[in-house]
Every structure is written in C-alpha cells, then in structure tokens.
Structure 1
Amino acid sequence: MSLFGGFTIKKRSLIILKNLRYKLNGFNKGSFIRNVFTVASGTAIAQLIGILFSPLITRIYGPEAFGILGVFASLTSIIGPVVALTYPMAIVLPRDDTEAKTLAAFSVYIGVSTSVLVSILLGLFGRDLLSLLNMDVLFPYLIIIPFYLLLSTFLQVTEQWIIRKKLFSIKAKVTIYHALILNIAKVGMGFYYPVATVLIVLTTVGQMLNTVLLSMNIKKELRNENKIKKKLPFRSLAKSYKDFPIYRAPEMLVNGVTQSLPMLMLTTFFGPASAGFYVIGNRLLSMPAQIIGKAVGDVFYPRIAEAVNNKEKASKLVLKATKLLALVGLIPFGFIILFGPAVFSFTFGTSWEIAGEYARWMALWTYFMFLNNPSVRVIPVISEQRFFLLFTNVSLVIRFGLLIVGAYFFNSDIMAIALFSISGAILNIILIFKVILKCKRFDKINLSF
C-alpha cells in the first residue's frame, strides 16, 4: 500500500514539475526567471527574518500596540501611493532614459509639494479629521504623517528606477538588510519602550533607511553610465502620462480605502485589539504575495512593456503568469485555510488564536489578489486605467456594504471579515478574466499595425 501511495505521490510530483516547466517556457526570453528568483529569494530571506523575530516582537508589544500601528499604516497606505499622483509608476514605460529621468524629477517635485500641503492641512484640521474618522489614537502621531509621505515618494521613485534598469539584485540585497536592521531595532527598543510609538517611528525610519540603501547601491551600479543633461519640460510629460493622475491615482486611493476598511471598521466596532489581530493575520498572508507575487509583478512590468513594444501577445504572457501563480499559491494559502488558528496560536501565543480565525477567511481573498498581479501590472501598458478605476469603485461599494452587514447587523468581527474576504475573492476572479479579455482585444489592434 505504501509503495503504491509513494508511486502515486512521485507521479503527481513529476506532473506538477512538468506543468511548472511549461508555464515558465513563455518567460525564457532575457533573464525573466533569474530576475524573479533574485527578487523572490531576497524577499523570502527578509520574510524569514520577520518570522523569526515575530514571536518575540508580538509578545513584547501586544495586540493593542499593533492595532494602533495598523491604524497608522491604514491611513498612510491610503495617501502614500498617490502622494506623487502615481507618476513614479510611469518611470518604467518610456523607451529612453531622458524621459524616465525627467519623470522621476517630476514625481519628486509633486511628492514634496503634496507632503507640504498635507502638513499644513493636518496642522489646521488634523484633529477634527481624525475624530471624524474615529482615529483618535493617531493624535500623538500627526506630525509624523507628512514625513512618512515624503519618504514614501522618494522610495517609490527609487524602486521604479530599479525596476526600469532591472537592478533586481540590489533590491534583493537591500530588502534583507532593511528587514534585519528594522527587526533588531524593534526588539531592542521594545525591551525599554514596548509601546505603539516605537513601532510607528521605526516604520517611518524604515522608509528612509530603505531609500538611502537603495540610492547608494544604484549610484555604485550606474556610476559609469553617461549622464543625461537634457531634460524634457514637465508640462509635456504631465500631458503624455495624464492617465496616471486622472485614473490610476484615484484608483489607488479608492483601493487603499478598500484595503484599510477592515482595520478602521474593527477599530470602530470592536476596539484596537481586534485591529491588531487583523494586522498580524494580514502580515502573515502577505508573505507569499511579497515573496513571489510582487517579485513576479516587478519583473513582469518592464517585460510586458517591452513585449507590447515588440508586438508580442500581451494576453499570452498575462495568462501564463497567472497560471504559474495559481499553482505556486495553492500550498501556502491552502495551509492557512485548513490550520490557521492552530498556526497562529502556536507561533504567536494563545492570545493570538483569533487572528488565525481572521486569516482563515482572509486567505480566500488574498489568494486571488495574489493571482491578479500580472493583470494589474498590464493595465497601464494596455491603457485600461479608466476601466480599473471604475472596477475599483464598484468593489469598494460592495465590500464596504458587506463589512457593515457583518459588523453592524451580525455584530460579529468574524462574520465581517468573512463577508469582506469572500467578496474580495469573487471580485478578483472577475478582474482577472476581464483584463485577459481586454488584453486579447488590445493584441488584435496592436498586432495589426
């Protein structure tokens, strides 16, 4: 019986490996696979560092401190990606470096201006705004928010330049250094001051550390490149890439609100501790997305831009990348669905078992969000950002409504998370299919010229 079972397992393993090899064949051009492996390995080591430190850090600070950090992260994650009106995302697209460098300078200019404006508005209306949003816990941290946004702009520009130049080994190396330094700082300072302030300050400093390390390595790598003195007018670039501020910036703002809704609603209805459970659950589930999903997305973005310029089929590449992620993601997300509460209780302590219940439902949503990486990356390349904005708005209304139903009518945090997650899974499936169809239509037009 064991021999037969062993034979079956071996046979199935060979079939899976053959399927993976087939999926990868479409990406053998250039160094796609090597770049994905480089980014993924760096992120994996960084995540492993985080996992090793997590049992200690969660015991030092506790759910409430993580809940306040989660509220801070929710607010900054809504504003941060749009502080430069998403112009940094366009840095990858131009054919020549002159246009890309001008876009980078333009992005920094907008980011600095926006951060100053936010600083003024928070000084005048910050307390009233936080009270309106039921974020009173952030009153002591108002002054930090503009600095975080400013650093976020610099980091976005730096990361997009690395993606454009395909300096993925630098990204991998810095990700490891950043994780190690930040986690050591959390433990070291937590022994003396185990409060939310330490976590928030270190999160902000982490943005600066990441940017500085990346910038230093970029200069070393590109020191022999010819400097480009000529720059294009900001006005012409703003016009050429106007679909980013018009469509993508609002989409990311709405998407940021959608992602932050559970955090805000849990804080409002059930207190900071419930938000802390959500933070830890979301952090663990984001690991596969960070290790593999984002790695594929970062490398896929310049690859798909090149493919479209070279008259390749965008739909074919998106479909293959999505199938590859579907196979890879089954194990980690399926494991959390089956054993979430036991894993969290054993890893973080018995007081965190409820976070495992949250994660069990959230895994459904995050699995399909993991799969949509290629679809989301191809959207600006095929000029479908208007569609993406409309889709995200509809998603916000649906998921907010279901979150309210769970929290208000059922008075259950688990029900709220379940409804929010199931709707997220269904909407992501719809998004993937819609984008693939739009890619096929785009291919017909692009290949006909």
Structure 2
Amino acid sequence: MTRIKRLLTRPSFAGNAALLASSTILGQGLVILVQPLLTRMYRPEDFGLLALYTSILSLAAVVLNLRYEQAIQLPKEETEARNLLVLSLVLGLGSSVLIGVAFILLRQTLSGWFGIMLPVWFAWLVLLGLACVALMQAGSMWALRLSRFGVLAQTKFQQGLWQALGQMLPGLFSLGSGGLILGDVLGRLGGVHALVRLWPRTLQGITAQSLYHVAHRYRSFLIYGTGAALLTAASFHLPFIVLTAFFGAAAMGQFSLSYRITTIPVTLVAQSIGQVFFSRAAAARDTPALAQLTERTAAVLFALGLPVFGALWVVAPVAFPLVFGANWDEAGRYAQLLAPYLLFSMVAQPLSNLLTIREWQRGLLAFTIFELLLRMGAIYWGVTTQQMYWAVVLFALSSLLVALLSMGLFFRAAGASWQGFWLKVRKYVWFDLLSLLLLWGAGYWLKGWWWVGAAVLVVFLLLLRSFVEIRREGLE
C-alpha cells in the first residue's frame, strides 16, 4: 500500500507535467501568435502543401526507428537501454535516408498520385525532416528514461520558437509553401538540438552482438508495434492525402488549418501529461496503482478539455474568420465538427502508452486495423458525396468512435473502469455543460468579437474551477 500511495501522490507527476505543458505553451504559443499573420501571408494552397508534407512525415515516422525507441523505458539495466538508444538512432537515420532517396527518385510518380506537382526542394526537405523526426523520437525516449523533463521542456520551447521564426521570415519575402515547410523543418532541428547533449558520450558496452541481443529481445515492438503504429498513423494522415488528391490543395488548406489549430490544446496538455504518465505508469505496471493512476489521469484530461472544446464547438464558425481572415470561414465550420472528437482524443492519446507498457502489441495491431478500415471507409463515403463538408463530417464521426473505443481498450489494459472514470468527472460535466449552454444562448445578443471574448472568459473561468477542484480532490 505504501508503494501505491507513493506512486499516486508524489508531487513530481503534477510538477513534471506542468513543466512540460508550460514549455509547450511557450513554444506553441509563439506558433499560435503568428498564425493570424501567416494566414495573411500565405494562401490556402500553401497550407495544403504543408499539410501534405507533415502527413508524409507522420506516416513515415512510425517506421523510422522500427518502434525500438518505445522500449528504451523498459530495461532495468542501463547498458541494455543504451543499446536500445543506439539501435534506434542507427535504424532511424538509415531508414530516413532510404525513404528520402526513394521519395526523390519517385517524385514524378508521387506527384501524379497526390494530384499536385511536387517541387524538387519538397522531396529533399522530406529527407531532412525524416532525419530530424528519427533523432527526436529516440532522443525524447532517452530523456524520459533519465527523467530529464527540463531538457524535454527546452525541446518543446525551441521547436516552437524556431518554427515560428522560420515560417514568418520567408513569408515576408513571399516564398509561398516553401517558406511554411522550411519553417517546419527548422522547428524540428531546434528540437533535436536540445536533445543531443543527453546522448551517451561513449560506446562502451555497445557491440554488434549486444545490438542484436536487444533487437531480438524486443522484437515484438518491431513485429507488432511497427505495423500497429503504421496503421494508426495511416488512419490519421491518409485522409489528408486522399482529401488533397480529390478536393485540391485549397480545400485541404482550409481543413488543415482547422485541424492544426484545434489540435493545439491536445499538444499542449495531452502530450505533456502523456510523457509523464508513461514514466509513472511504467513504474506502476505490476501494481494495482496502475488502474488508479489511469482513471485519475483520464479525469484530469477530460476536466481540462471539456471547457476548451465545448467553447470551440460553440464559437468556431464565428471566431476563425475574425482571427485568421475572411478567407478562412470554411476552416471555422470544420473546427466545429472536429471539437467532440478532439475532446476524447485528448483523453485517449496519453493513455495509449499503456499498451506499450503491458506489451500488448498483438491487441494493438488488431485494433489499429479496425481503426484504419473505419476511418478510410468514412473518407471513401465522404469522397463519393463530392462535397468536402460531408467528407469532414464522416471523418469526425468515425474518429470520435475510434477515440471512445480506444479509451475502453486502454482502461482494460490498466484494469481501470468507465465507472471509476465517470465518478471522477461527473461534477465537471454538469457544471461545464450548463455554462456552455449559456454561452451558446449569449450568441443571440453578443456578436463578433464580443461573443468570442465571452467564450474566452468562460473557458478561463471553467478551467480555473477545474484546477481548483483537481487540487482539492488530489487528482493531480
């Protein structure tokens, strides 16, 4: 019982999560601040090509390190973990070069598939971006093992800062989509720069035989984890590629802006809490504390997400044209459609590490096959309507269903329950929903910036109340 209590109540969980979240807020806050300027410097078509670029990187990212970076947290022996780090780095850089060169050689063919002529510089930036992703994935897992949350915080801040500056400066010279993509690459380089100093300075204890040993010991991450992760990434990012091919870069630009802006709360909170949760859950995996930790973490995420995404659902169609310019009204409608899915995705994403901790790679693979079929089926149905709006509706509904089913799977892996989760969040649900209903009604009297300002105030007050209740109940 003493061990369970210590795992659940030690203040480092809240402190480390707050450190990562605050640094992410600072870094991504800069990215958010420049968005209204970027949407006036660049066209929707430029944002559409950026969305295609990031989707390609995200799809390839899951196979770069062959998922061995996910195992770095697990060994008790430091030497074994160091071997996993080196293995992940070697595989990651090698895969980046192979995929990047293939992309360069097949650029013309891929242009036909995507329905967009891809410039030569686009292909080379794919190679560079993949290398940055591979280094960041392995480096971040190593920093987590060392509990160097300060370095992870610096990584998030530098990535946001370099990206914001890298996209703003080319925009002043009207460089088009190349400026947006170059800024994305610079942001990734900024993240890598912060992680490099944590890597071991010696290769002592690392041989070809030891690398083979850890590759074989954790082969389930390669055999099942890589396939599952690739299918999961495909279910998220193939829709961007398919929608670009069928509806064009301009329509994709509208959707990608709404998706990037609305997922910022997920990035700010869920990823930061998820990294700390991974570290804590790995330590608690063989104790009853894992179920309690999972329910409490899910409750905190839901309590923080409901005010944000609830208000987004209410005011997004009005807020987007005001903030980003009159050309982005479609993005506001798409953001409203995505809000319910993103609320539950914010809860589910950090908990996904439970399957890695429990080494449920086979179950994860089976679920992700279902996830991909469901999402792509929804997109196919949407394409047949020949209307981008209905394609986004079906994508959002299928994604919401996936998020709910994912939560059920993760609860099962931890031994947690929906009942335990509901008991912890019900007091937030009724109060927040009533407040959001009043905000919706206020739209009959408040217009434009006044209504958006009222929404910001409501979100601030509801989040403040949630923070107070979370601390009072000891959920942090």
TM-score range, shorter chain: 0.7 to 0.9
Q: Which of 403, 407, 410 is the equivalent residue of 2:379?
A: 403
> Using the alignment, how far apart are the partners of 1:155 and 1:43 within structure 2?
15
The structure-2 alpha-carbon separation of the partners of 1:362 and 1:124, relative to structure 1 and needing over 3 Å to count, comes to: same
Verify: 1:302 aligned to 2:279, yes or no: yes
Give the whole-Å Cα distance in 2 for the aligned partners of 1:125 and 1:63: 26
The answer for the alignment partner of 1:326 in structure 2 is: 302
Give the aligned residue type for 2:277: F
Q: Structure 1 residue 30: deviation in Å?
A: 5.5
Match of 2:21 among 40, 49, 69: 40
> Contact between 1:296 and 1:373, CA under 8 Å: does it hold in 2?
no
Residues 62 and 229 in structure 2, CA contact (< 8 A), matched pair in contact too = yes
Further displaced range: 183-192 or 126-135: 126-135
Letter in 1 for 2:219: K
Q: Match of 2:134? A: 153
Per-residue CA deviation, residues 50-85 of structure 1 (Å, 9 max, x unaligned), is 221111111101211111111111111100232111
Task: Report which stretch shifted further, 383-392 or 227-236.
Answer: 227-236
- Return the letter of the residue paired with 1:186: Q
Match of 1:413 in 2: 388
- How far off its partner does 1:337 sit? 0.9
Give how far 1:204 is off.
1.8
CA gap 1:26/1:329 in 2 versus in 1, 3 angstroms = farther
The answer as to whether partners of 1:65 and 1:196 remain within 8 angstroms in 2 is yes
Quote the offset at 1:25 in angstroms. Answer: 10
Q: Deviations over 1:319-350 (max 9, x none)?
A: 22112111110011111111111111111011
3-state DSSP of counterpart to 1:50: helix
- 1:291 match: 268
Q: Larger deviation: 343-352 or 365-374?
A: 365-374
> Does structure 1 residue 373 correspond to structure 2 residue 349?
yes
- 1:343 and 2:308 aligned: no
Runs of 4+ in 1 over 4 A off after TM superposition: none
> Post-superposition shift, 1:377?
1.0
The aligned counterpart of 1:15 is none
Letter in 2 for 1:112: L
* Residue of structure 2 aligned with 1:435, choices 375, 400, 410: 410
Taking only aligned residues, the RMSD between alpha carbons, in angstroms, comes to 2.2
Q: Which amino acid aligns with 2:182?
A: V
Determine the C-alpha separation between the residues in 2 that align with 1:100 and 1:296: 23
Alpha-carbon displacement from aligned partner over 1:368-403 (angstroms, at most 9, x marks no partner): 111113430111111212111111111111111111
Asked if 2 retains the 8 angstrom alpha-carbon contact of 1:81 and 1:152, the reply is no
TM-score, normalisation: structure 2: 0.81
- Structure 1 position 175 matched with structure 2 position 156: yes
Aligned-residue sequence identity (percent) comes to 26
> Relative to structure 1, is the Cα distance of residues 169 and 421 closer, same or farther in structure 2, using a 3 angstrom cutoff?
same
Is residue 191 of structure 1 aligned with residue 166 of structure 2?
no
1:385 maps onto 2:366 in alignment: no
Deviation (angstroms), 1:138:
5.4
In structure 1, the gaps of 5 or more residues are 1-23, 442-449
> What is the CA–CA distance in structure 1 between the aligned matches of 2:6 and 2:22, rounded to whole Å?
20
Aligned to 2:225: 248
Are the aligned partners of 2:270 and 2:347 in contact in 1 as well (CA < 8 Å)? Answer: yes
Query: Against the structure 1 CA distance between its residues 389 and 134, is the aligned structure 2 distance closer, same or farther, given a 3 Å change threshold?
Result: farther
| CA distance 1:236–1:26, shift in 2 (3 Å) | closer
Q: Deviations over 1:76-123 (max 9, x none)?
A: 110023211111111111123211111010011111221232244334
Distance 1:325 1:119 in 2: 37
**Does structure 2 retain, via aligned residues, the 8 Å contact 1:262–1:417?**
no
The answer as to whether partners of 2:58 and 2:233 remain within 8 angstroms in 1 is yes
8 Å Cα contact 1:130-1:138 kept in structure 2: no
User: Number of aligned pairs?
Assistant: 410
- C-alpha spacing 1:297/1:276, structure 2 compared with 1 (3 Å): same
State the SS of the aligned residue for 1:383.
Answer: coil
**1:270-281 residue pairs with structure 2 within 5 A?**
270-281=247-258
Give, in whole Å, the separation in 2 of the partners of 1:243 and 1:404: 32
**Whole-Å separation in 2 of the counterparts to 1:135 and 1:285:** 26
